[in-house]
Amino acid sequence: MKPMSREELDEILTQTLEDRRLSRGERRALREVFADMALDENGRSFVRHRVFALAREAIRGADAHSVLDWAEDVVKLLAPVPDRPAAIAEVHFSPGDRCRLCITRMLKQAQATVDICVFTITDNRLAQPILDAHHRGIAVRIITDNDKADDPGSDVYQLGRSGVPVRVDLSEHHMHHKFAIFDGKTVLTGSYNWTRSAAEHNQENLIVSDDAKLVAPFVHTFDKLWQSLGPSS
């Protein structure tokens, strides 16, 4: 893997520093980033140096305590970890069942969390595995577009009534993302809408990866959107 530059590292760290705390998802994503970097003692010292350099820049009066808490939380993640299993790198296309079956498999394999951020969900063959994951104790969250949530056949509000936390975009624009994060370490994204038409008729694509440098920005974006959007009605 190509070594990460200081600029790339600073960009990832700065994203997690933005709200002065490490969310659960950001913590997992950073741990994956550091594992990918295969840090030796010099590498860990370099990351610690960048963490505290960014912290010093961010400290402003009463904000100092939370910034230092962030720095401490990040540095704790630098402890050596066991070797990671082989990386996940998959590509699927529709029409056909490959994209849908991939999503279903990822939902079934999730062990702790599933964060779904998609424009629309109207395919019952995907809504049911989402509900099944929720029922077996997986912490599922859904972000979607409010206009599409009101479409005929939308499964979003039914999932919400079943206890799955849902938040929707309330602006005049669209929440047009199509991605999902599984256990904070694998991302699934592409043009594929979670609809029956996407499976049966449309030319769509889906990519799955556990590359920590790709996953971390998705985790950050989901957490940021979740905090900014309202609950579904």
Catalytic sites, residue numbers:
176, 178, 183
Q: Please provide the DSSP assignment of 7-38 as one string.
A: HHHHHHHHHHHTTTS--HHHHHHHHHHHHHHT
The Cα 222–Cα 195 span in angstroms is 21
Residue with tokens 């969390």: 113
| DSSP at 163 | T
Helix 6-17 / helix 64-76 crossing angle, nearest 10 deg: 120
Alpha carbon distances (Å) from 112 to 33, 115, 193 = 19, 10, 24
- Cα–Cα nearest to 31, from 227, 223, 183, 226: 183
In three-state secondary structure terms, 180 is: strand
Amino acid letter, 165: P
